[in-house]
Structure 1
Amino acid sequence: MPTYKLIYWDLRALVEVSRQLFALSETPFEDIRITKDQWENEYKKDSPFGKIPMLVVDGKKLPQSHAIARYLARKFG
C-alpha cells in the first residue's frame, strides 16, 4: 500500500478537497502542516516549481492542488 504525505500551510484553502478525498476514502495519510519558517528552511528547495501544496506518494512529488485532487479522485474511485 502506498504511503501518502500531504504538505501545505496550516489552512483549509487549496488542499481541503484533497483532505476530504482522503477522509471519504478512509485512506491513511500524513497531513503535514507547515509554517513559513519550515517552508523556507526545509521544503522550498525540494519542492517542484518551488510551491505548495505538494503530495508525496512513496517518495514521488506531485505539485499543484488541482492535479493532486484529480490524482486522488481517480485513485480512490
Structure 2
Amino acid sequence: MLYTSLLAVARTTEWSPQVGIIMIAACLFAVAIGRPAIKNRGVGPKLPVEAPALFEGFGVPELLATLSFGHIIGAGLVLGLSNAGIL
C-alpha cells in the first residue's frame, strides 16, 4: 500500500506545436548561453554547412553539447508545465 502512494505517475502531454515551440526556445537558449561558456571551441570537426560569422569556431561537438543541454531544459519545461496544467 505504501508503494502505490510513492509511485505517482507524472501527467504528461502529447506532442503539439506548443511543445515544439518550447523545445525550440529551450535549444536556442542553451546555444545562447553555451556558446560563450565553452572554453575550448573548435577542437573537433567543423559543421558540414557554411555557418554565419556568429558561429565561428562552433563545431559538431559544441552543437551536440548545447542542443543536448537544450533538450534537457526543454523536457523539464514540458514536464513541469504539463504537471502544472498549463500545457
**Which TM-score tier does this pair reach, normalised by the shorter chain?**
under 0.3
**Structure with the bigger percentage of helix:** 2
TM normalised by structure 2 equals 0.23
State which structure, 1 or 2, has the greater radius of gyration over its C-alpha atoms: 2
